[in-house]
Amino acid sequence: MSTTFQLDTSTSRANPTPAPMKRLTIPAVRQRKKDGVTEQPIVMLTAYTARQAQLLDPHCDLLLVGDSLGQVIYGLPSSVPVTLDMMIAHGAAVVRGSYHSAVVVDMPFGTYEASPEQAFASASRVLKETGCAAIKLEGGEAMAETVAFLTRRGIPVMGHVGLTPQAVNVLGGYNARGRSEAEAAKIVGDAKALAEAGAFAVVVEGVVEPIAVAITQAIPCPTIGIGASAQCDGQVLVIDDMIGMFERVPRFVKIYENVGDVIERAAIAYAEEVRARTFPGVEQTYQPK
């Protein structure tokens, strides 16, 4: 682990304290890809809370505070209603809970599309109020000017092409992209435009595999795949999906553990003991001395 713990006697909670460790930087992530090759793939997972960050931090290069929190934390129908205040609150929590990974925060819908100036105002607030290392925004060639504007002003940007969830109303759903030649060419062009504008990495989501391979070969910065290809320079998944917190997950998700089942079994056992008056027991109560 990258943290040690001290007991807070007033609350009986173990609070993390940083162990000596240098946090991974965005330039170091970018430099993983040399001459078109990434020998050590980049590991990224989403995180939304300080405790999640503590658990994931030692094993990841990047922690993404995704706007997917709209669905997985708040039960919203999509990421579109997510606000900047939500992203900042969760972003700050993840930064507090991590000491190794570089933290990237999603820019929510409506906070960056209008103009580069709007994007800078939103992104600078995110960096100031969370302490994160970079922001991520969706969109291809149309956002290249904004990416260049931000990077020239000291804000590292991760791009996102292919299936872009914030555009679900335009796309008409979450189906894989790039099945037609025209759409495939556009997605590759979008990735190239973002890389040329200065993005340090590009998420490639929900595309047919040859497109992900073509993008990875075509751009100098790392690609982060999700529903793309193992040939990408790194991978990302939504943490709640991969640990089985939901009954239905996208096709591209591998469920590594069924934590949802563990939580349900614990709740069932707790409810049974409460109703049987066997909890709390002597070990969980304060007795006279």
Lowest mean per-residue pLDDT among 16-25, 57-66, 129-138: 16-25
Has 67 been labeled as part of a binding site? yes
pLDDT (tens digit, 9 = 90+) per residue, 135-148? Answer: 999 999 999 999 99
Query: Which 3 state secondary structure label does DSSP give 116?
Result: helix
Confirm or reject CATH 3.40.50.1860 for domain 15-164+180-259, answering yes or no. Answer: no
Taking the domains of the chain in order of start, what are their residue ranges?
15-164+180-259
Strand partners, 34: 37
User: pLDDT value at position 1?
Assistant: 35
Position 185 pLDDT exceeds 90: yes
The catalytically annotated residue of 141, 196, 205, 283 is: 205
Position 286 pLDDT exceeds 70: yes
pLDDT (tens digit, 9 = 90+) per residue, 147-161? Answer: 999 999 999 999 999
pLDDT (tens digit, 9 = 90+) per residue, 262-284? Answer: 999 999 999 999 999 999 999 99
Whole-angstrom distance, CA of residue 212 vs CA of residue 200: 17
Q: Is 106 exposed, middle or buried (0-12, 13-18, 19+ CB in 10 A)?
A: buried
Whole-angstrom distance, CA of residue 46 vs CA of residue 238: 5
Mark whether 205 is an active-site residue: yes
User: How many Cα atoms sit within 13 Å of 238 on the Cβ side?
Assistant: 21
Has 106 been labeled as part of a binding site? yes
pTM tops 0.85:
yes
